[in-house]
Structure 1
């Protein structure tokens, strides 16, 4: 199991929810997981019902078997201050630069600098060890940028390493890419059984492979149950006109037709949705990437729902 689990996906597919559930699933049996947010939306805090996360690692949940989930909302400005202190010992000078607005200026206009800092901080958490030589976190889960930006986001340190041929910046960029392009990392894509998210998933997987970045799994989210068997699904799209005609011939065309027609319409819509979902499953199967499926929770998403999705992820992983 890769130690850095990167979760991407098209907006609206539940990417952050899946990342949170994955962190809970990986933290079982006494393990410790760090859930990292890089987009500044405080989505983790909302999902777990906590206050806005500061720039520090904070325990937010206890998983099955006593495992712990910590969370970190990475702030690019603070990460740059850490970087300046780590490599150039500019502790007080760095704080002075922040007061002058130089840090905000640098992270806003420097191409790729924010992504360098965000990926660097996450990889530092992956490599960090305690005094006994054990990893501080068994897994780091990153709630990453969406599918259209994920390859450039993860590959930015490769570009930096090429620009800075020597020195600490070059060494840091190489160290980050060593993690991101190794078996320590897996990049997962969250999708729905809809045409656009599935196509973006296919494109994202192809871009990752071309960049030499490791593809993990596809997570099909919000899967709705099928209420009709195959025979009923076939009939649902064909019977509407026949039933209306039969009711009319039987002299029941008025109230009975108004009662039955909406039911037949819903059945036809359900049949159409099932056909679309099956077509998208065939597209996903051709990608030859292992897939998990998570159900649509009818009660909406809350902390109990996260634990339910985490249990489903564990179940499917154990069945592999």
Structure 2
């Protein structure tokens, strides 16, 4: 499988989306130069890699990996500064009440310009043989972000914004350039939301899903007889049963993703109080073997 140039990592809150994005960027950077674009206001993926980017300026993590933080508001400000190059005037426009009315009348404009920035970054990545990994918003907000260009075309049926929206749609629908990676955990609620997210972005925008990443899957340590022998141990037995159950749920979920046309990559449970570079490298090795090197 050839991975697209841009990998958009999303998933239900609490499924380890940012951890997966950071581990995936680290793994890809061993093969080609890679940029991690962190759209999370908490900058969780960037922080896991030891980087704290500011003001849309890339920060180097290694010789082949850098991290950049992007926000919809910053992209709107950059857009206005491009079309009004006199800084004092552009800043006055952004602060004006009239401009506030204009942006309110164009819902999704900031998110739309963020998508345009990602499209431009993807073009640069293709020219320079790089990967771009996006730590995207959680699945509900991600669906809204990816659908925003169709709303802009409804508001602007002709002109510059309409042409930009067509370019963004073409970019998102090109499976060689853009693909979604959806994180989940073995729990049924997270699996159902991941399946719904994949179906929604495919139906609404035509986006291909590269894989479902099943995160936090513990090894199966005990057989039925061993669990029965542990029953007098009370809380310890319940913990062992819960651990086995999570593993079994992950195995049952894989065929559901296969039926939806998605491959599943399972990542091990990391029994550590925090995720650092060592843990990211371990997860990265699994992603390299099961996703990147397929």
Matches within 5 A, 1:193-212: 193-211=186-204, 212=206
1:195 Cα deviation (Å)?
Answer: 0.7
- Provide the residue aligned with 2:148 in structure 1: 156
Q: Is contact 1:58-1:72 (8 Å) kept?
A: yes
The 2-side partners of 1:92 and 1:137 are apart by 37
Residue 15, structure 1, aligned to residue 9, structure 2 = no
Q: Is contact 2:36-2:68 (8 Å) kept?
A: yes
Residue 61, structure 1, aligned to residue 35, structure 2 = no
1:102 Cα deviation (Å)?
Answer: 6.7
Q: Compared with structure 1, are the counterparts of its residues 27 and 214 closer, same or farther at alpha carbon in structure 2 (3 Å cutoff)?
A: same
Q: Is contact 2:212-2:264 (8 Å) kept?
A: yes
Flag structure 1 segments of 5+ consecutive residues without an equivalent. Answer: 242-256
The 1-side partners of 2:164 and 2:67 are apart by 23
The 1-side partners of 2:195 and 2:137 are apart by 16
What CA deviation, in whole Å up to 9, does each residue of 1:12-45 have, x standing for no partner? 001011111111122223x221211223222233
TM-score (norm 1): 0.80
1:166 Cα deviation (Å)?
Answer: 2.2
- Provide the residue aligned with 1:291 in structure 2: 264
What CA deviation, in whole Å up to 9, does each residue of 1:137-160 have, x standing for no partner? 612111112122322211211221
Q: Compared with structure 1, are the counterparts of its residues 274 and 25 closer, same or farther at alpha carbon in structure 2 (3 Å cutoff)?
A: closer
RMSD: 2.7
Aligned to 1:176, the other structure's residue is in SS state helix
Flag structure 2 segments of 5+ consecutive residues without an equivalent. Answer: none
TM-score (norm 2): 0.86
The 1-side partners of 2:86 and 2:156 are apart by 20
- Rg larger for: 1
1:291 Cα deviation (Å)?
Answer: 1.5
The 1-side partners of 2:202 and 2:212 are apart by 14
Matches within 5 A, 1:109-188: 110-128=106-124, 135-136=127-128, 138-183=130-175, 184-188=177-181
1:282 Cα deviation (Å)?
Answer: 3.8
The 2-side partners of 1:266 and 1:201 are apart by 26
- Provide the residue aligned with 2:94 in structure 1: 98
1:240 Cα deviation (Å)?
Answer: 6.4
1:168 Cα deviation (Å)?
Answer: 1.7
Aligned to 2:147, the other structure's residue is in SS state helix
Which 10-residue stretch deviates more, 104-113 or 36-45? 104-113
Q: Is contact 1:14-1:221 (8 Å) kept?
A: yes
- Provide the residue aligned with 2:67 in structure 1: 71
- Provide the residue aligned with 2:40 in structure 1: 39
Number of residues paired by the alignment? 289
